Amino acid sequence: MTVFLGLCCAAFATHATAAVLKMTCRAKGQELTLCKQAVQQWEKKTGHTVEIVSLPQSSSESFALTQQQLSAHASDVDVYQVDTTWVSFLSTHAVPLDAHFSAQELAAHFPVILQNNTVNGTLIVAPWYADVDMLFYRKDLLEKYGESPPTSWEDLLRIAQKIQENERASGHVRLWGYIFRGKAYEGLTCHVVEWIESFGGTLWPLDTDRVIQAFAFCARLIPTTSPMGVLSYTEEEVRGVFQLGDAVFAHNWPYMWTLTQSEESPVKGKVGITVLPQGQLHGKPASVLGGWGLCVSRYSNHQEAAIDLVRWLTRSEEQHRRALQASYCPTIHALYQDPVLCAAHPFFVHVARALETVVLRPAGAFGRSYSQVSASIANVTQKVLLKAITPEAAAQKLDQDMKTLHKRVTETPATQRATGQ
Ligand code: GLC
């Protein structure tokens, strides 16, 4: 770009003000490709250039990097791809976006996402895509064994075990019943909230009885229906194992769908998707609100161009393209009625319904301490999965950890909270 400008600035006057921006973008599934494609269109349209910095796969690691940059008030990144739970932290580092979207544009998004991305009445993060965990299952195997998709966890375990045992006996020795994101990171925290809510409880404030029930369920998984290796699985390991055909059920985000249906996928045409099962008595199928948005750094030297880029990437046409090509779920509700998307992804009907009832992680309650809370949730849960702690002791430990952190949050002077010190 620099060379191009040097040679051509007289002929292409508009390029004289062309900026070089930097944006972070995730590399999970097809995200990086999608991001690059859209950015290239914007570059062509505006004459600006964007350097894409790829983020680590894990949300927790991506947060650490983003936090480092913004806390140092670094001006080198202009636009950040940011997770649902980072909004409190971002509130003092990101440019308010309300004024750059019309009321109509804003009203097009699911209210829960807009609320999540707004702090004290100010929109901090532009919604880009939503995530809700789904249950992926092997349609062909369930049919072979005369089973329907499970609606309760108990049923899931029964079906998982039955198919696993029978298929192993007929030679598919690597088949597992149920896989999920068991590594100690944000992805496991999402599951924990879902398991607890599906038993009718809440994680914060912690509902001891229901948390014990959910943990008791977790303690039954390894090695009966889930491999020990699940403790190191993030999204992509779950997808990899399921896509190879080595799992009956997988608990993961919708981006996995298009990849499992690709030409080279061994499970193409054999996959079903439904809402997550529920716990026995008082439960409900519950999915947490996941998804990513875009924010503009207050320390950017190219805020105007950066805001234009964010508008371009989050607009309806682009959300449609991403949804069609790679099943990233739109944040714009009208797109769930789009005939092309509905035909390509019939399960979007479940996603839209789930988005009406999603559960939030306790990021709002813990603000800037959320990452510590999340780490404690994931670490305690790993111990439960390993049966290194009883469900009762785990619930107690989690309650203590969360109460200690919450006390610290509420005792921090407001001024300090606002500046993030
Ligand atoms: C997905 C979700 C995000 C969540 C992360 C956990 O990327 O969109 O909200 O925090 O997974 O791994």
Residue nearest to atom 6 of ligand 1 (CA): 187
Q: How far is the CA of 371 from the centre of ligand 1 (A)?
A: 13
Q: What number does the ligand 1 atom closest to the CA of 181 have?
A: 12
Q: What number does the ligand 1 atom closest to the CA of 131 have?
A: 8
Residue nearest to atom 9 of ligand 1 (CA): 290
20-131+289-345 against 133-285+363-416: fold identical:
yes
Q: What number does the ligand 1 atom closest to the CA of 253 have?
A: 1
Predicted TM-score (pTM) above 0.75 = yes
Q: How far is the CA of 251 from the centre of ligand 1 (A)?
A: 13
Q: How far is the CA of 187 from the centre of ligand 1 (A)?
A: 6
Residue nearest to atom 11 of ligand 1 (CA): 187
Q: How far is the CA of 201 from the centre of ligand 1 (A)?
A: 22
Residue ranges per structural domain of the chain: 20-131+289-345, 133-285+363-416
Residue nearest to atom 5 of ligand 1 (CA): 187
pLDDT of residue 417: 54
Superfamily of domain 133-285+363-416, CATH level 4: Periplasmic binding protein-like II (3.40.190.10)
What fold, for 20-131+289-345? D-Maltodextrin-Binding Protein; domain 2 (3.40.190)
pLDDT of residue 28: 80
pLDDT of residue 413: 66
**Residues 253, 133 contacting (CB under 8 angstroms):** yes
User: Cβ < 6 Å from ligand 1: which residues?
Assistant: 59, 83-84, 131, 186-187, 190, 253, 290-292
Q: How far is the CA of 98 from the centre of ligand 1 (A)?
A: 24
Q: What number does the ligand 1 atom closest to the CA of 234 have?
A: 12
**Which residue of 31, 55, 59 sits with most ligand 1 atoms within 8 Å of its CB, as the best mutation to test the pocket?**
59
> End-to-end distance of the chain based on CA atoms, in angstroms?
39
Residue nearest to atom 7 of ligand 1 (CA): 291
List, run by run, the mean pLDDT of 10-residue segments along the chain (421 residues): 32 61 92 97 98 93 96 97 97 97 97 96 98 98 98 97 98 98 97 96 96 98 98 97 98 97 97 93 86 98 98 98 97 98 96 92 94 97 98 98 94 59 40
